[in-house]
Structure 1
Amino acid sequence: MLLSWLTGLAAGIVFLHFLQKLVFPYFWEDFWYLLKVVRYGIRVEMYKLKGELCTVLDRFLSLAQKQPQKPFIIFEGDIHTYQDVDKRSSRVAHVFLNHSTLKRGDTVALLMSNEPDFVHVWFGLAKLGCVVAFLNSNIRSNSLLHCIRCCEPRALVVGADLLGTVEEILPNLPEGITVWGMNDSVPQGVTSLKEKLSTASDKPVPRSYHVVSSLKAPHLYIFTSGTTGATCVLKKKFSASQFWNDCRKYNVTVFQYIGELCRYLCKQPKREGEKDHRVRLAVGNGVRSDVWREFLDRFGNIKMCELYGATEGNICFMNHTGKIGSVGRTNFFYKLLFVFDLIKYDFQKDEPTRNEQGWCIHVKKGEPGLLISRVNEKNPFFGYAGSKKHTEKKLLYDVFKKGDVYFNTGDLLVQDRDNFLYFWDRIGDTFRWKGENVATTEVADIIGMLDFIQETNVYGVTVPDYEGKAGMASIILKPNKSLDLEKVYEQVLTFLPAYACPRFLRIQEKMETTGTFKLQKFQLAEEGFSPLKISDPLYFMDNLKKSYVPLTKELYNQILLGEVKL
C-alpha cells in the first residue's frame, strides 16, 4: 500500500514537472529573478524606514576598511587600491573644503575622460555631500554650454586632456562657476586642482557631511564596481584588437558592453585561443541577435545579460534567461510591481493612437508598440535637470482612464507569446549611433546656423550591419542661396561630437509636416539614403576630403558592402 502510494506520488511529481516545463518553461527562472527583485525592494524600504540610506560612497568606505590593500582600479598597468582611492578622494574633499565655498547639496560638473582621477574627484565631492553631474567628454562648444547651464553647477572640474575644450567656452560660462583643472599648467581663469592636491590632507571626512536620508538624492543613481568589492579594470579608450589580451592579462571575469562593442570584436580577424579567457558574464544593451550568436560561437560560453532601461526612466527589464535577441522578460507578477504597457503608435501623426473615446490602444502580442510606464509614488519620474519643457514632453496623460500618467520611453518594443520583449525601434527626437544618443533638434540647430540654410530636419536611417541609425539631415536652402558642402562639413565637425555629425544630406524643396505641424520624419527615415529610390540630391560625409560629396550609386553600394567606413 505504502509502496504504491509512494510510486503514485513520484509519478505525480514527475508529471507535474513535465507539465510545468511544457506550460510554464521559465517558471523557476522567473521565480528566482522576482525573488531577488522583491528582496531588493524590501531592503530599500527598510533603509527608508531607518531614515538613513547606504549610498555607493558608504559601501565603498566600508569595503576600504575591510580590504584596504585590494586593487580597486587597474589603469594602464597601475594599481590603485581601495585605500589609495579613499585617501586621494579625501585630499580632493579637503581641497574644496579649504579653497572653495562649496557646501552640502551644491552641484559640481565633472568633465573628465576615463581615468582614476574621475573616481577620486567624484568620491571626494560626494564626501562633502555635493551632487556630481557627469558631462559627456565628447561634446563641446554650444552643446557643452547647454549641459552646464542645465545642471546649474557651482563649480566645474576638468581633466587635463579636456582643458582646451573648456578654454573655448570660458568667456560664455554662466557667472558664479569656478573652474578647476586636473593639471599643473592651466589656462587663465582656471584653478589648478592637481597643484593643491599635493599639499592637501588625506584625513577622513566626517560622515555627517554626506549622510543621505532620501532616495531622491541624485548621486544615488550612479553605480560602480565598488558596490560589490570587485576590481575595476579601466582603459582610456576601447581597443578591439587589445580587448581579449587585456582580459587575459588582468583575469577579467565580467565586462560591460554596448552593442557596437560586441560587433567590433566580431569584426576582428580570427585568432587561435579566442576562448582562452576567464570572462563568464557580459552586461549591457543593444547587441543584435546575429552578433550575439557569432560572439558566443567565437568567444565561448559567456552569459550575456542584456538590459533595457534609461537613467531618467522608471521601467527596466533584464534578460535573466539568456534568450538571444531579447532585452528582457515579463509576467503577471512583474507587471504588478512595474506597471507598463505597449500601445499603438501613429507614425504619420508622430503620436500615440487613441480610440473614439480618447484612450490609448493596447497592441497584440507580436506587434510593435510604444513602451509606456505608469508614474506613481512607487515608480516616480523625476524629470530632466533644468528643463520642465522636456520633462513634460515625456509624460502622457489620460492614457487608459482620466487622471492616469505614464512615462513615454520613446521606444517601440515587441512582446512575443512567451512574454519575451524585443527592442524594435526608437521614435521621436532622438536616435542612437555609435552607442550614443543623438538629439535631432540639437543637430538641426547647429546646421541651421549657416546663412544659406532655411530649414533642417534630422533623423536616423538604417545602415546594414551597423547598430543603431546613422544621422541624416534633410535641408531646404534659402531662396537664391547655394549649398556650400565644405561649410556644412566644417560646421558640424566644429560644433558637434563625431557621433552626432550627419553621415548623409538630402536637399529638398519643401518639408512635409504632420497634422500637428511637426516635421515628418517617419517617411524620410523609411526612404533611407538610397540614390536608387530618391530623386533629391544626396550627399555623404567624406572625412578624407573634409567635405560632403555626392552620394553616387557606386558609393552607395560601397557603403552597403562595408567598403566605406561610417
Structure 2
Amino acid sequence: MVLWLAVGSVVLFSLFLWKYPTFFRDARIGFINYKVRLGVDLIQLIKGNFTLVDQWEITAAKYEDRPCIVYEGETLTFKQVEGRCNQYAHWALDHGFIKGDVIALFLPNSPDFFAIWMGLAKVGVESAFLNNNIRGASLLHGIKTCKARAVIVSQDLLEHLGPLQDDLQNLLVSTFTITGDTPNSIKPETRSQCAPPVIFRKNVTYQSPLYYIFTSGTTGLPKAAIMKHKKSMWVGYGYAALFRFTKEDRLYITLPQYHSAATTVGFGIMITSGCAIVLRRKFSATRFWKDVVEQDVTVFQYVGELCRYLCNTPTSPFQQQHKLRLAFGNGLRPDVWDIFRERFKIPQIGEFYASTEGNVIFVNRHNVRHSVGFAPCVLPFLHCARIIRYNIETDEVYTDANGYCQEAAPDEVGLLIGKMSNRYPFDGYVGDRSITNKKILRNVFSTGDSWFNTGDLFKEDRYRNMFFMDRIGDTFRWKGENVATTEVAQAISSFQQVEEVNAYGVQVPGHDGRAGMVALVCRSSTLDLEALYQHICVRLPAYARPLFIRIQEIIETTGTFKHIKTILSREGFDPSKIKSPLYFCDPSLGNYVPLDNVLYDKIVRGQIKL
C-alpha cells in the first residue's frame, strides 16, 4: 500500500510539473519579489501597523528620481508626486478635515486623482470615488451613501453638481475645485510639499478604510464597497509579484481611476514595485498603439471590451513595433482572446478574476487559453473559492438531504463562492447592512459557515483551471435549457457585418423562462438577415438562438465597458415602445423578418409557436 501511494504521488507530482513547469520558479521569484524587492516590513505588516501610505512613502523615497506618472507628455518623478500628495494633505488639514472624514472625488483620470486620495490618506481622511459618468439622483446617492463632508470636482465636471446644490447644502457638503479662481479652488501649489506629521494618522491601521469604490451599477443604484489598507496592499503585492513587475516596467492605464481595476490593481502595482504609470485621460483605440510604442510601454491593463475595440480598428503601423511583455486584466472573451493575441503579438495574457468587494481572486499566470487562473490542489485550505451546484431556473443552489450545498463536478457550471474568514474577509458595503447580507450565503457546507456570493457562474476543468461563464441574471432559461449570454454574444460577434453584440433575455407572455434577444451595432446600414440567420444556426443550438434582434447605433455600457442589460430586458420587444429596427426569427420562414405591431400582437396572443 505504501509503495502504491509513493508511486501515485510521484505520478501526480510529475503531471503537475508537466502542466505547470514554472510553478516552483515562479513561487521562488514571487517570494523574493514579495519579501525583498517590494520592501515590505513583514513584522510591521503582521502587527497591523503598516498601511498603504507607509508603503507609498517607502517606494517614493527609494525611487524619488525615477518616473512615476507620465501624463499628456509630462513626466512626474516619484519625488514630485509625493510632494503633490503632501500639498493635498496640508490642504485637508487647513480646512479642518480629520481622521474618519470622507471626501468624495468627482474627477477624470489625472495625476491629481492619485495625489488627492493618497494625500488625504496621509492624514487619515477617506476618499469616495464617484463615477464621473453618473448624473442627477445617482450622483447625489453616491455622495449621500458615503456621508461625504466635501466633494472635490474638476472644472469640467462642476456643472453636473449645479442641479444638486440645494441638496448638498442640506447635507452640509462643501464643493471644491482643483483649478480655477473661485474661492473654493484648492490651489495645492500654494502649500508645503513636506510630509505632514504621522500623528494625524496615528490610529490608522491596515484594517482601516482607505477609500470607497462604487460598483458598476448594471442593476439598480451603485453600492459603495469598503476598501481597506489591508486589501489594497495585498492586491498590489500579489499582482506585482505574480507578473514580476520591476522599476523598469512602464504600465499603460486607460481605465477610469474611480474603478478598482485602475486604482487598486494598477496604481497598487506602482506603489509596491516602483514601476512607472503611463496614464491617459480616457481610452482611445486610434491612439493606443502609438502611445504604447512612443512611451516604451512594457505592460498594459485591459478590460475585455477594450481588447475587442482594438481588434476592430484598422491596421496600425505601430501595432507590432511595441515592447510589450504582458497584457493583463479581466473580461477577455474567448472569441476575442486568440484574435487579440495573434494579431498584436502579445507574448503573455494575464487574465484574472476579481471583484471590487469580493474575497475571491484568480490569476492566469501560466498563459492558459481562456482561463482566469487555477485553484491549487496543493494546500487547498489556503484557497477560499468553491463552485457549488446551482439551479438557474429557480435562482437557487442545490442542497442535499441535510440542507447543505453540493460542490459542482469538473466541467459542470455552478456558482462561485468564497469562504469568509480573517484571511479572506468580505468587508461589505457602506450603509444598509441588509445590502451586505444579501451577498452572504450561510450554512453552506457546515452549520455556521459564511461564504461570499460572487453572483458569477464558473466551471473548472480536470486540471483545476477556472473559467468564467456568465453572470447570474445574465444567464437565462428557455425551452428547459440554460442559455449563457456570453456564448450567444461570442457566436454572433464573429459575423463580419456585426460590430458589437449585447445578448439578454426577455419575457414573452404565456411562456416560461425568457426568450433570447440581442442588440446589435452593425458595421454598415444594411444587414444580411438571411446570412446572419445561417451563421447563428451553425454556431448555436436551437434553444440558444435569439428570437429577437434590435439594431442600435451604440450599446450603452458602464464606465468599465460592461454592457447594461437590465434596461433593454425591461423594454422587451414591443415596437410601439422601441423606435429602432426590430426583427423576429420566424420559424415558418427560417429567417429574421421585420417585427411590426401586427406581428407583435400575434406573438403576445400566442398565435405564433415559438
- Confirm or deny a common fold (TM above 0.5): yes
Counterpart Cα distance in 2 of 1:524 and 1:267: 31
* Inter-partner Cα distance in structure 2 for 1:41 and 1:412: 35
From 169, 179, 192, give the equivalent of 1:201: 192
> Which of 57, 82, 94 is residue 61 of structure 1 equivalent to?
57
Partner of 1:217: 208
Residue 423 (1) aligns with residue 413 (2): no
Q: Which one is further off, 158-167 or 388-397?
A: 158-167
Counterpart of 2:120 (choices 121, 125, 131) is 125
Q: Tell me, yes or no, if the aligned pair for 1:538 and 1:550 is still in contact at 8 Å.
A: no
Selected match of 1:77 from 73, 76, 90: 73
Candidates 299, 312, 332, aligned match of 2:357: 312
Q: CA RMSD in A?
A: 3.7
Q: 1:465 aligns with which of 493, 503, 518?
A: 493
Give the alignment of 1:229-240 within 5 angstroms.
Answer: 229-240=274-285
Residue 163 (structure 1) aligns with: 158
Compared CA separation, residues 538 and 330, structure 1 to 2 (3 A): closer
Whether the 8 Å CA contact 2:417–2:451 is kept in 1: the answer is: yes
Once residues 525 and 320 of structure 1 are traced to their aligned partners in structure 2, the CA distance between those partners, rounded to angstroms, is: 38
Give the Cα separation in 1 of the matches to 2:135 and 2:146. 16
Distance 1:262 1:550, change over 3 A: closer
Q: Distance in 2 between matches of 1:323 and 1:30?
A: 13
Indicate if the aligned counterparts of 1:411 and 1:426 stay in contact, CA closer than 8 A.
yes
1:552 aligns with 2:582: yes
Which whole-Å CA distance do the structure 1 matches of 2:354 and 2:500 have between them?
16
Match of 1:87 among 54, 65, 83: 83
Structure 1 residue 176: deviation in Å?
Answer: 2.4
1:29 to 22, 31, 38: 22
The within-5 A match list for 1:425-440 is 425-428=470-473
Structure-2 change in CA distance of 1:38 and 1:543 (3 Å): closer
Tell me if structure 1 keeps the 8 A contact 2:64–2:77.
yes
- State the TM-score, normalized to the length of structure 2: 0.68
Measure the CA separation in 2 of the matches of 1:341 and 1:473.
27
DSSP-derived class of the 1:52 partner:
coil
* Equivalent in the alignment of 2:514: 524
- Alignment CA distance shift 1:110-1:557 (3 Å): farther
SS in 1 for 2:278: strand
Q: SS state of the match for residue 82, structure 2? A: helix
1:359–1:401 CA contact under 8 A, matched in 2: yes
The residue that corresponds to 1:412 in the other structure is 457
- Residue 82 (structure 1) shift: 1.6
1:175-190 superposed matches below 5 A = 175-185=171-181
CA distance in 2, matches of 1:548, 1:260: 26
Cα deviation, residue 526, structure 1: 4.3
Deviation at 1:104, TM superposition (A): 1.3
The one-letter amino acid paired with 2:514 is L
Q: Is the 8 A contact 1:34 1:334 kept in 2?
A: no
- Cα displacement (A) at 1:538: 7.8
* Contact kept in structure 1, 2:48 and 2:207, CA below 8 Å: no
User: In the TM superposition, what is the alpha-carbon distance from 1:334 to its structure 2 partner?
Assistant: 5.2
**Matched residue of 1:549: which SS?**
coil
CA distance in 2, matches of 1:280, 1:148: 40
Greater mean deviation of Cα atoms: 79-88 or 393-402: 79-88
Report the Cα offset of residue 409 of structure 1. Answer: 0.5
* Alpha carbons of structure 1 residues 353 and 170: separation in structure 2 relative to 1, 3 Å: farther
1:330 is the counterpart of 2:375? yes
Query: Which consecutive residues of structure 2, in runs of 5 or more, have no partner in the other structure?
Result: 1-8, 211-228, 233-263, 476-483, 521-528, 534-542, 556-576, 586-590, 595-610
Q: Distance in 1 between matches of 2:315 and 2:407?
A: 46
Distance in 1 (alpha carbons) for counterparts of 2:416 and 2:41: 26
Superposed displacement of residue 342, structure 1 = 0.7
**Which residue of 2 is the match for residue 302 of structure 1?**
347
The CA distance in 1 between the partners of 2:351 and 2:59, in whole Å, is 28
Which range is displaced more, 265-274 or 232-241? 265-274
One-letter amino acid matched to 1:140: R
Tell me the SS of whatever aligns to 1:355: coil
Structure 2 counterpart of 1:263, from 308, 312, 337: 308
1:482-506 superposed Cα distances (whole Å, 9 cap, x missing partner): xxxxxxxxxxxxxxxxxxxxxxxx7
The more displaced of 41-50 and 337-346 is 41-50
For the 8 Å contact 2:85–2:115, the answer to whether it is kept is yes
What SS does structure 1 have at the residue aligned with 2:380?
Answer: helix
Unaligned runs of 5+ in 1: 1-15, 432-458, 475-505, 513-522, 560-566
Give 1:231 shift: 1.2
Amino acid at match of 1:120: A
Aligned partners of 1:53 and 1:212 also within 8 Å: no
Q: Any idea what SS the aligned residue of 1:104 has?
A: coil
Q: Secondary structure at the match of 1:376?
A: coil
Q: Distance in 2 between matches of 1:536 and 1:525?
A: 7
How far apart in 2 are the matches of 1:468 and 1:370? 27
Relative to structure 1, the CA distance from residue 272 to residue 233 in structure 2 (aligned partners, 3 Å threshold; closer, same or farther) is: closer
> Residues 396 and 543 (structure 1 numbering): CA distance in 2 closer, same or farther, change over 3 Å?
closer
- The alpha-carbon deviation at position 118 of structure 1 amounts to 0.8
C-alpha deviation, 1:357, in angstroms: 2.2
Structure 1 residue 246: deviation in Å? 0.5
Residue-by-residue CA offset, 1:265-288 (whole Å, 9 max, x unaligned): 111112445321111111101112
The 1:293–1:550 alpha-carbon spacing in structure 2 relative to 1, beyond 3 Å, is closer
Whole-angstrom distance in 1 between the partners of 2:351 and 2:193: 40
Does the 8 Å CA contact 2:176/2:184 hold for their aligned counterparts?
yes
Tell me, yes or no, if the aligned pair for 1:48 and 1:213 is still in contact at 8 Å: no
CA distance in structure 1 between the partners assigned to 2:380 and 2:12 by the alignment? 24
CA contact (8 A) 1:156 1:179 kept: yes
Amino acid at match of 1:470: N
Q: Deviations over 1:88-122 (max 9, x none)?
A: 22222222211x22101211111111112112211
| TM-fit CA distance, 1:529 | 6.5
Aligned to 2:147: 152
Which residue is equivalent to 1:495? none
Query: Matched residue pairs, number?
Result: 465
Output the CA distance in 2 between the equivalents of 1:31 and 1:80.
Answer: 37
Opposite residue 175 of structure 2, the aligned amino acid is V
Question: What amino acid is the match of 2:394?
Answer: K
Residue 97 (structure 1) aligned with residue 87 (structure 2):
no
Q: For 1:19 and 1:460, locate their aligned partners in 2 and report how far apart those are by CA, in whole Å.
A: 37
TM alignment of 1:448-459, pairs within 5 A:
none
Superposed CA deviations along residues 13-33 of structure 1, whole A, max 9, x for unmatched, are xxx999855464235434455
Q: Would the alpha carbon gap of residues 202 and 214 (structure 1) be closer, same or farther in structure 2, given more than 3 Å must change?
A: closer
> Displacement of 1:65 after TM fit?
2.5
The alpha carbon displacement at 1:554 in A equals 9.1
Q: Distance in 1 between matches of 2:138 and 2:501?
A: 21
